[in-house]
Amino acid sequence: MIVVDTNVVAYTVIPGERTEAALAIARRDPDWVAPRLWRSELRNVLATALRLKRMRLANALAAFGAAEEIVEDIDVEGMVGECLELAQRAGISAYDAEFVLVAEQMGLQLVTADRRLAKAFPSRAVFVEDFAAES
């Protein structure tokens, strides 16, 4: 089981240059968890693709449905203090802190497309292509 950030989920369900790396991650470890925040972030990615006419609504809905099949939601709503403290200590957004917090609380590795986040938490986070290359 691994924690994945929203970009990893997006790479998996929206065909693109990083899709193969995301699929390699899924083959290596298909049990994905993330804070519920991933849903809002993915909706925003899909809305942007729709606005830029890079995707049709039916494809966006299918992509979101596929994502729901592969990611288990983890609730961090009761951990406001821990999330804010982590964000302050590491100098990261509260959004990023939610993903790190889930990884820390569950003792899991976070696979992220954010190199800065992977560098900030080297014992907990790994960059997407690095994780995929390990498979």
Which pLDDT band holds residue 132 (cuts at 50, 70, 90)?
A: confident
Residues 6+ apart with CB under 8 A from 14: 45, 46, 49, 55, 63
Q: What is the mean pLDDT of residues 18-43?
A: 96
Q: Selecting from 3.40.50.2300, 3.30.565.10, 3.40.50.1010, 3.40.50.150, what CATH number does the domain 2-133 have?
A: 3.40.50.1010
Rounded to whole angstroms, how far apart are CA atoms 108 and 89?
20
Instruction: Specify the pLDDT at position 135.
Output: 57
pLDDT digit string, tens, across residues 45-101: 999 999 999 999 999 999 999 999 999 999 998 899 999 999 999 999 999 999 999
* Per-residue confidence (pLDDT) for residue 134, from 0 to 100: 78
Partners of 34 in beta bridges: 73
**Contact (CB, 8 A) for 14 and 60:** no
Give the per-residue pLDDT at 8. 97
Domain boundaries, the chain: 2-133
pLDDT of 77 reads 87
pLDDT given for residue 89 in this prediction: 94
